[in-house]
Amino acid sequence: MEEKRVVVTGMGAVTPIGHGLEAFWNGLISGKNGIGKVTHFDPQDYRSHMAAEVRNFDAGQWVGKKIINRFDRFSVFAIAASVMAFKDAGLDRFEFEAEKAGVIIGSGIGGSETIQDGAKKINEKGPSAISPFFIPSVLINMAASLVSIRLGFKGSLAAPSVACSTGGNAIGEAYRMIQRGNEVLMAAGSGETAINPLPYAGFCALRAMSQRNDDMEHASRPFDKKRDGFVMGEGSGIVILEELEHAKARGAHIYAELIGYGNTADAYHYTAPHPEADGMIRVMQEAIHDAEITPEQVEYINAHGTSTALNDQAECLAIKKTFAGSLDKLQITSIKSMIGHLLGGAGSVEFIATVMSVQEGIIPPTINTTELDNECELNVVLGKALKKDINIAATNNFGFGGGNASLLLKKYVD
């Protein structure tokens, strides 16, 4: 069976540095820092006091009041980003076949805010205080389901949860659905809103987050010798993927073509990456093989780049081994330096950034990083954005439990 070509025709984002595609992209290329002191709760008793929060977001522009009041913010963000992407793709002005339009939207943790609030209510007021919307609100699949209802997409429905590689997996699996002819349209991505006491305390207990509380703006510093952990972020990124001929027939704007996807497991440890970067290497090789290109053709990697010692070192090792013959011309960046680590929401937001880099010929900077770790001496774009014509780019995501996802994008040529 001949595989279909898949293109990106719409994008929406709710992020710590901007709401909507234009604001997000402008924030990235200007090196905007979205990190500051936690305001969602008092962080004084926690090891870390900082986060990249979504602030001043008027969800009512995109989501109905009943949904906002009844469901967890991770679903609200995903619905908002989906409506943005839907309109950006021009689907609000086009009659599509609903049965051939699917939704794959995941989350790493899901409705953690609702769980936190529910536990407080039941302790203070008893079981009668729990809302009938509690269970629907906390379910990881609810973001995908609510988007399906809102957009009228009646095809396949799924909600992957693979920790920090969730967004990459969601987009990759949606790509497969179109590539194999199951669907012609897919809304795909992820969302996360875990900046609340319980998950935040959990990551503090793991000692995974930065404790640079006296210099929060510079705390997220991927690949830097002085990095001391990630900074938690929140948000959602949703894309509209479309079968090429379907997109052309309706005159859609095409941002880029998705040409490769890899998905592997380390099968090693529940938090640490494989010390020899085995799964990371294989996932990039798998994406390259799927795209039917060579490693030398990849010009830019939007890296996972968490700002943690083990993850950064493993990713740098994987890049060195996978692209050994072309490291001199390979540019790398990590936008987590600006938006923090969105956990399950990271992959989809970073995919959107990579699409924009391919279309606009601009690589966002890695801010805060001043001295590269000896293990990470690569061509990391530091300080300010780099203008560079990009034909093929990769974006990587790696999650707790050893889940790895890699996606390859190509500049669209008819």
Which residues are known to be catalytic? 164, 304, 341
Check if the beta carbon of residue 107 is closer than 8 Å to that of residue 140.
Answer: yes
CA-closest candidate to residue 304, choices 395, 210, 380, 239: 395
State in Å, rounded, how far the first CA of the chain is from the last one. 22
The DSSP code for 366 is B
337's CB contacts (< 8 A; 6+ apart) are 220, 221, 222, 305, 307, 365, 366, 367, 368, 369
Check if the beta carbon of residue 218 is closer than 8 Å to that of residue 368.
Answer: yes
222's CB contacts (< 8 A; 6+ apart) are 303, 305, 306, 307, 312, 334, 336, 337, 366, 369, 380
The DSSP code for 307 is S
CA-closest candidate to residue 197, choices 342, 304, 46: 46
The DSSP code for 62 is T
Residues 372-407 as b/e (b if ≥16 CB within 10 A, e otherwise) read bbebbebebbbeebbeeebebbbbbbbbbebbbbbb
* Beta strands in 289-412, from DSSP E residues, in sequence order: 300-302, 331-333, 362-363, 386-387, 392-399, 403-410
CA distances from 410 to 44, 188, 248, 393, 407 (A): 46, 18, 17, 7, 10
Look at strands 392-399 and 300-302 and give their pairing: parallel
Both structure tokens of 281: 């290497």
Name the one residue in this structure whose structure tokens are 């070509």: 5
